Amino acid sequence: MSKNSGQPQAKNQGEDNLQIRRRNKLRRHTTVVSNVIIRGYHHVSDHAKMTYLALDSYDWPDENGQSKGNVWPAMSTIAADRGKSRLSILRDVQELSEAGLLTVESGKERGIPNLYWIEDPSEEESEKYQARYVKKAEHNLVEFPERGVVTEEGVSEVKHGGISNLKYQGVSNVKHKGIESESISRKEEDSNHQAPLKTNEKKISRSEYISRVMQDFSRELRDLEHVESNITQANNLYRQSTLSEKHFIELMYEARKRTSWQVVTKVAEDGYEGARNRCPYFFKVLRNLLEEKVQL
């Protein structure tokens, strides 16, 4: 009898017991598996890779330390954790299935969440990645010195080239003049030992970077109808603050994360997904964060 009798179960042919998959030997190195997904699979989009990693994080080991190889989170849970819409997650799941990284058993007919089998990277992709590595004592995997800097633990510090802007998801990897000019002016101030920041130049017009981030957030928070108003409101808050563009965007991402937490809490307590438009709550959180950091 399964502990989760009310949860979907994957059954082997002719058997009633929950199938336990023995994961690939590569699975022992969780970081390596993540790197294979991130650095390899060039035909898979970045956001789909992040959804794969999110699903994999739900696969808690059992009492014997074995990964089950399957998870069954609700679609609303995945969407909230990723800060994406359900439609976006559905596209990611379809893309991962076509790439052989995910096998889906539908639970729609039984009225239960789908069961997702998390597949390990293919042998071809794993071999491509491991070809860049050498095995050391105790089965540690260490990257070749000429390919990157190796730490004491044997883990490379090379930046993951497969995914750009991991911190700021949904923002394209382009150079922004506002950030460059701010960096240059800050260096000049440091060289001249001037304490006050030059804020008059950065506050003249609205930030292109903040506008792009707010446009993405409007989509994720289901408020595309008022996207221009949201962009204007975000830029107004930025101009009123004394924060740099970088620090303001960090607060925006923190506000979005807290907004996602509020949605998940509402689902757990009330059994529904909460308000469709979550931008008002986002700006409320953002203002509170700004009040903690600066005086408007």
Rounded CA gap, 190 and 229, in Å?
37
Confidence of residue 222 (pLDDT cuts 50, 70, 90): confident
pLDDT: is 62 or 6 the higher one? 62
Q: Tell me the CATH number for domain 25-121.
A: 1.10.10.10
Whether the Cβ atoms of residue 255 and residue 205 lie closer than 8 Å to each other: no
- Strand 141-143 to 133-135 pairing: antiparallel
Q: Residue 166 pLDDT more than 70?
A: no
Burial of 96 (0-12, 13-18, 19+ CB in 10 A): buried
pLDDT at position 64 = 63
Question: In what side-by-side order are the strands of the sheet with 102-105?
Answer: 70-71, 115-118, 102-105
pLDDT at position 51 = 84
Write the pLDDT tens digit of every residue in 66-104: 667 778 788 888 888 788 888 888 888 888 888 888 888
Residue 36, C-beta contacts closer than 8 angstroms, at least 6 positions apart: 26, 121, 125, 126, 129
Confidence of residue 12 (pLDDT cuts 50, 70, 90): very low
Q: Residue 231 pLDDT more than 80?
A: yes
- Going from N- to C-terminal start, the domains of the chain cover 25-121, 177-293
Q: Residue 134 pLDDT more than 80?
A: no
Rounded CA gap, 73 and 235, in Å?
36
pLDDT at position 171 = 42
pLDDT at position 292 = 80
pLDDT at position 234 = 92
Supply 271's token pair: 């059994």
Q: Residue 162 pLDDT more than 50?
A: no
Rounded CA gap, 187 and 199, in Å?
14
Q: How confident is the model over 246-261, as a mean pLDDT?
A: 84
Beta-strand ranges (E) seen in the chain are 70-71, 102-105, 115-118, 133-135, 141-143
Rounded CA gap, 62 and 232, in Å?
49
The lowest-confidence range among 50-64, 83-97, 184-198 is 184-198
Q: Residue 142 pLDDT more than 70?
A: no
- What percent of the chain has a predicted confidence (pLDDT) above 70? 54
Contacts 24+ apart (CB under 8 A), 202-207: 202/178, 202/244, 202/245, 203/238, 203/239, 206/231, 206/232, 206/235, 206/238, 206/239, 207/178, 207/235, 207/238, 207/245
How far is the CA of 23 from the CAs of 30, 165, 182, 247, 283, in angstroms? 11, 30, 48, 41, 43
Cα–Cα–Cα angle for 224, 47, 84, rounded to 5 degrees? 35
- Residues forming beta bridges with residue 117, ordered by sequence position: 70, 103
Write the pLDDT tens digit of every residue in 15-32: 344 444 444 444 444 555
The lowest-confidence range among 26-30, 196-200, 210-214 is 196-200
Q: How confident is the model over 218-223, as a mean pLDDT?
A: 82
Whether the Cβ atoms of residue 157 and residue 148 lie closer than 8 Å to each other: yes
- What percent of the chain has a predicted confidence (pLDDT) above 90? 3
Q: Residue 8 pLDDT more than 80?
A: no
Residue 141's identity, in one-letter code, is: L
- Residues forming beta bridges with residue 70, ordered by sequence position: 117
